[in-house]
Structure 1
Amino acid sequence: MEQLKIGDVTITWLNGGVTHLDGGAMFGVVPKPLWSKKYPCNDNNQIELRTDPLLVQVDGKNVLIESGIGNGKLTDKQKRNFGVTEESNIEQSLGQLGLTTNDIDIVLMTHMHFDHACGLTKWEGERLVSAFPRAQIVTSQLEWNEMRQPNIRSRNTYWKENWEAVVDQVVTFEKEIEVASGIKMVHTGGHSEGHSLVLIESGGETLIHLADLLPTHAHQNILWVMAYDDYPMTSIFEKQKWISYAIEQQAWFTFYHDTYYRALKWGESGEIITSLQRNR
């Protein structure tokens, strides 16, 4: 497992599973000859996308960013449609660190789409139960509202199976919230109305997790947004704001979906100046 130190904070990527989604959908109106040079696709025009949660450890707290694709949550048809070739193995990943799911104190959900939220619950016999029974689950109030009452477009990704069993654990916020020392969630909108980012500051260093505003390193161009984005112009404005801020701060960018990079820093000219690559 890859790790990154930010001041007093340790980040470890867990095994949350892998999907293969349509490259055209992931890059929206960007022509394939452009995006495929930066992020290759298979013969079905699908690109490999991880769903690997980030374990953030600071001041004795274990904070998870996202929850993975889950295990046993998808039908065979869904696995086929979403190109799922590997499901989550969070418990094994935590075990390698001497932890269990009971040791997770907080789960930060940047948004609640199925590929981020399926790992929140698991099957126990014939019923779904919380996968992290002691944790607070933090998401924006807007996201939580839509999760429970999705519209005609979003009901395909907001599933009751991912929230009904954890309803008593959810903590919501409006604009921003500090969940632990130096760890903050900030509402952005864009990908979904309630989408948020995670900002970590420790020891004079900064890390920004833009979640699905920046799903992969290949989405660096502020105009390269997904067809999955509900509010693409908001995504563009928020990317412009936060990528510029992060580069000024010489901050690390971290990824949940990228199959090549776990984290990187970009220079003022957009070049990668340092990176943590995923072991493949």
Structure 2
Amino acid sequence: MEQLEVGNIKITWLNGGVTHMDGGAMFGVVPRPLWEKKYPVNERNQIELRTDPMLIQLDGKNILVEAGIGNGKFNDKQKRNFGIEQESKVKENLKELGLSTEDIHIVLMTHMHFDHACGVSEWAGEDLVSVFPNAVYYVNETEWEELKAPNIRSKATYYKENWEPIVSQVQTYKEEVEPVPGVRLVHTGGHSDGHSILKLESEGERAVHMADIMPTHAHRNPLWVLAYDDYPMDSIGAKQAHIGEAIEADAWFLFYHDYKYRALKWNEENVVEEAVLRNRENE
């Protein structure tokens, strides 16, 4: 498991499973000859997208960022359509760290699309229960309301199985929330109306998880937005605002989906100066 320290914040990447989604949809109007130079694609025009939660440890708190795709949540057709080749190993990873799902105090959800949220619940016999029973789940208020009452477009990704089992544990917020000093969720919109990003700051060091307005390193260009984005101009605006700010602050960019990088730092010429690479051999 790859790790990174940002001041006093320790970050460990867990294995939450993997999907393979259509490359054209993931890069929107950007032509394939351009994006395939930056991100590999298979014969089905799919790109590998990890769904790997980050465990943040700070001030005695165990905080999970995103939840992975879980286990036993997809039928054969869904596995084929979403290119799911591997499901979650979060429980096993936590055990390797001397922890269990009961030791997670906080779960930070940037949004509740299925590839981020299926790991919040699991089957216990015929019932779905919360995977992290002692945690407070932080979800943006707008995101939470749409999750419970999706529209004709969003019902394809917002599942009742991902909110009903945790409803008593959820705490919502409007524009931003800081559950632990130095750990903030900031509402951006864009990818979904309630989408948020994560900002970390400790001992003068910073990191940002742009979530799905910049799901991979290949989406660095503010104009390279997803066909899945509900509000693409909001995604572009948020990327313009937060990417430049992070680069100027010498911040780490953290990734949940990227096949190659766990984290990296860009300079102002968009050159990668430092990186934490994903170790593919351990999967």
TM-score, normalising length: structure 1: 1.00
**Equivalent residue number for residue 88 of structure 2:** 88
Q: CA deviation at 1:8?
A: 0.4
Unaligned stretches of 5+ residues in structure 1: none
Confirm or deny: 8 A CA contact 1:28 1:225 kept in the other structure: yes
CA deviations 1:132-170 (Å, max 9, x no partner) are: 000000010000000000000000100001110100000
- Partner of 1:26, secondary structure, is helix
**8 A contact 1:59–1:181 mirrored in 2:** no
Task: Give the superposition deviation at 1:181.
Answer: 2.0
Q: CA deviation at 1:95?
A: 0.5
SS of 1:80's equivalent in the other structure is: helix
Which residue number in structure 2 is paired with residue 215 of structure 1? 215
Query: Superposition pairs for residues 63-74 of structure 1, below 5 Å?
Result: 63-74=63-74
Conservation of the 8 A alpha-carbon contact between 1:3 and 1:10: yes
- Output the amino acid matched with 1:75: N
- Corresponding residue for residue 171 of structure 1: 171
Matched, 1:252 2:238: no
Instruction: Percent identity, please.
Output: 63
CA–CA distance in structure 2, aligned partners of residues 76 and 203 of structure 1: 47
Query: Equivalent residue for 1:183?
Result: 183
Q: Which residue of 2 aligns with 1:18?
A: 18
User: Residues 18-167 of structure 1: matches in 2 within 5 Å?
Assistant: 18-167=18-167
Separation of aligned partners in 1, 2:238 and 2:165? 32
The residue type paired with residue 144 of structure 1 is W
Tell me, yes or no, if the aligned pair for 1:58 and 1:181 is still in contact at 8 Å: no
Q: Which amino acid aligns with 2:263?
A: A
Q: What RMSD over aligned residues (CA atoms) do the two structures have, in Å? A: 0.4
Work out the CA distance in 2 between the residues paired with 1:112 and 1:247: 27
The residue type paired with residue 264 of structure 1 is: L
Distance, in Å, in 2 between the alignment partners of 1:122 and 1:181 is: 30
Any idea what SS the aligned residue of 2:80 has?
helix
Paired residues of 1:118 and 1:162 also in contact (CA < 8 A):
yes
TM-score for the superposition, normalised by structure 2? 0.98
Q: What is the deviation of 1:215?
A: 0.3
Give the whole-Å Cα distance in 2 for the aligned partners of 1:117 and 1:177.
Answer: 19
What is the alpha-carbon distance in structure 2 between the residues aligned to residue 159 and residue 18 of structure 1? 19
Unaligned runs of 5+ in 2: none
* Counterpart secondary structure, 2:275: strand
Structure 1 Cα separation of the partners of residues 226 and 175 of structure 2: 24
Give 2:133's aligned amino acid. Answer: P
Structure 1 counterpart SS, 2:37: helix
Q: Equivalent residue for 1:193?
A: 193
